[in-house]
Amino acid sequence: MGAEGEILAEARRRRTFAVISHPDAGKSTMTEALALHASAITQAGAVHGKAGRRGVTSDWMEMERARGISITSAALRFEYRGHVFNLVDTPGHADFSEDTYRVLAAVDCAVMLLDAAKGMEPQTMKLFEVCRHRRIPVITFVNKWDRPGREGLELLDEIEERTGLRPTPVTWPIGSADAFQGVVDRLDGRIVRYARTPGGATRALETELTPEQAARELGADWTRASEEADLLTAIGADHDQKRFEAHETTPVLFGAALSNFGVARLLDVLVALAPAPAPRPDVQGALRPLDAPFSGLVFKVQANMDRAHRDRIAFVRVCSGRFERGMVLTHAATGRPFATKYAQSVFGQERTTLDEAHPGDVVGLVNASALRPGDTLYEGTAVEFPPIPSFAPELFAVARVRDTGKAKQFRRGIDQLDAEGVVQVLRSDLRGDQAPVLAAVGAMQFEVVQHRLAAEFGAETVLDRLEYTLALRTDPQSAETLRRQRGAEVLVRSRDEALLAVFTDQWRMRSIQREHPGLTLDPIIAGAGQES
């Protein structure tokens, strides 16, 4: 097999996906359960430590441990049934949804978790919409079926009504929510009964039953599940791979991540149904072949993951070719060479040196101070992938260092957090460089900024919230007019020098527009999935 053939073969073995959900739907628990079932860990809690469980592998930040939530995204790589899984865990709090959307630029599939009792929640809807816009196929896992919840058929109706996707159950539950006994597998016809293990710390026990055994041992629950499964077949709710990959349907599984019910089947479904890496379009819309020379997209930058070294790591999705540690790449944004001597595979806080990687893999490049989310790296034939858009911020605050003797540390920290995309950093002629304006989507982003500036840079910070709630793009000519308006201000985004006009509210913006109809005011990003 030639080099190109080997690259294509390796790409076919990859499954690169994100686990996404509304907060508290069980996303971190599912990430851990998937790693447990793939034998990447031996006991639950090695990935996420919550409520007395073991230390977290992907939730490494101190704030995440203290609050029991995911704030940053993390990459976990493991093997299962001859396939290489790149599981990109995402923030579990809605205030960090922008980081989730960045991650979705790097995956080929998404696993959406629904809470069995709550169904379609606001963040769930936004994430489904982003996946639709990006043409990312979605596998839906109805979680917490071992607790009180809604009817399965009712949840399917809600999914279809609110997303437009046709749900096609792969498994169907035996027993109602909180009386979960097992599943009927509609793809292979198996009937599986589940049994708990203490605390869900190890893989759930599964027993395969014949229809006769199910009828005898599971009684009325089996009868109902069998009848409902027949109804699904009668209405054509069967899996169709082409429609799934075209984002017209969503395969649905039922289970409980905390008890490890249905997790093994989800891994099997990812192997069988989730798409392998495919050629990715560049900024001109041309597809970069998988066997072309190396190219990669930076989707995440994170500093100080390793406290001992205070380093900065850039997560790069391999889009084409073979990555080899030590190769010298070109940074598309600057045209400068970029050396890859320190390349790692990351499993939460644990890192190992990575010598090579293939399309779909996630490579951690250490001390990547020149890289930002959305940057392209390549070898040979030049390529640049579309940038990852920023959201329109809705919250604004002026940051000042409490101790002026820490001004240099403060400035260095602000620049670092801006490069990572933790917040957007804006400059104002009214305030000067020592009082940058921070712009965020959610209030907890400000808490993270203050925490990290103090913990990592020794710079205690005061944030003064501003009254602005709306930001739009503008141009130099319009900026001159806007600077003279009450209830408005012109700010410069540090990372790309874009001019942003901010307003106290929509009413004030429209009032100024009426008085000055020639102003340029364009949306940054109008909402989930609608890019500028």
- Residues 259, 141, single domain; the answer is yes
Mean pLDDT of the chain: 86
The residue from 241, 273, 305 where one domain ends is 273
Phi and psi at residue 88, in whole multiples of 5°?
-105, 105
Q: Which has more confidence, 368 or 190? A: 190
pLDDT band at residue 472 under the 50/70/90 scheme? very high
- Residues 200, 76, single domain; the answer is yes
Residue 146: other Cβ atoms inside 10 A: 24
Q: Which residues contact 273 (CB under 8 A, 6 or more apart)?
A: 139, 239, 241, 244, 251
* Alpha-carbon distances, residue 241 vs 217, 264, 274, 275, 378 (angstroms): 34, 20, 9, 10, 32
The residue from 250, 273, 296 where one domain ends is 273
Q: Do the Cβ atoms of 185 and 265 come closer than 8 Å? A: yes
pLDDT for res 69: 47
Q: What is the DSSP track for 431-481?
A: T-TTSPEEEESSTHHHHHHHHHHHHHH---EEEEE-S--EEEE--HHHHHH
Q: Is 474 annotated as a binding-site member?
A: no
pLDDT for res 94: 57
Q: Do the Cβ atoms of 472 and 393 come closer than 8 Å? A: no
Task: Output Rg (C-alpha) for the chain, integer angstroms.
Answer: 24
Residue 247: other Cβ atoms inside 10 A: 19
Render pLDDT for 122-171 as a digit per residue (tens, 0 to 9): 888 888 888 888 889 999 999 999 999 999 999 999 999 999 999 999 99
pLDDT for res 58: 46
DSSP SS3 for 293:
coil
- Residues 89, 201, single domain; the answer is yes
pLDDT for res 199: 59
pLDDT for res 25: 87
Q: Is 91 annotated as a binding-site member?
A: yes
pLDDT for res 308: 56
At residue 48, does pLDDT exceed 50?
no
pLDDT band at residue 218 under the 50/70/90 scheme? very high
Could you tell me the residue range of the domain that residue 402 belongs to? 395-531
The average pLDDT across 400-417 equals 93
- Asked if the structure places residue 389 within a domain, the reply is no
* Alpha-helical segments (H) within 56-210: 62-67, 97-104, 122-134, 152-163
The identity of residue 143, as a single letter, is N
Q: Is 189 annotated as a binding-site member?
A: no
At residue 531, does pLDDT exceed 50?
no
Q: Which has more confidence, 295 or 130? A: 295
Task: Name the DSSP class of 305.
Answer: S
The identity of residue 433, as a single letter, is D
pLDDT for res 530: 36
Q: Which has more confidence, 447 or 59? A: 447
Domain count within the chain: 3
Task: Name the DSSP class of 504.
Answer: S
The average pLDDT across 489-505 equals 91
Q: Is 22 annotated as a binding-site member?
A: no
**Best CA proximity match to 424, nearest among 466, 394, 393:** 393
Q: Return the H-helix or E-strand segment holding 426.
A: strand 424-427
At residue 119, does pLDDT exceed 80?
yes
CATH number at residue 358: 3.40.50.300
Q: Is 100 annotated as a binding-site member?
A: no
376: its two tokens: 């392209």
pLDDT for res 63: 52
**Best CA proximity match to 121, nearest among 144, 103, 146, 105:** 144
- Asked if the structure places residue 388 within a domain, the reply is no
- Residues 247, 112, single domain; the answer is yes
- Residues 132, 8, single domain; the answer is yes
The average pLDDT across 513-526 equals 86
- Residues 257, 294, single domain; the answer is no
- Asked if the structure places residue 118 within a domain, the reply is yes
pLDDT for res 388: 84
At residue 53, does pLDDT exceed 80?
no
Lowest mean pLDDT: which of 79-83, 151-155, 310-314, 484-488? 310-314
Give the CA dihedral 28, 31, 33, 35, nearest 10 degrees: -140
CA distance 269 to 185: 11
Q: Which residues contact 89 (CB under 8 A, 6 or more apart)?
A: 18, 19, 27, 28, 31, 58, 70, 73, 74, 75, 76
The average pLDDT across 389-415 equals 91
At residue 375, does pLDDT exceed 80?
yes
Give this prediction's pTM: 0.82
pLDDT band at residue 88 under the 50/70/90 scheme? confident
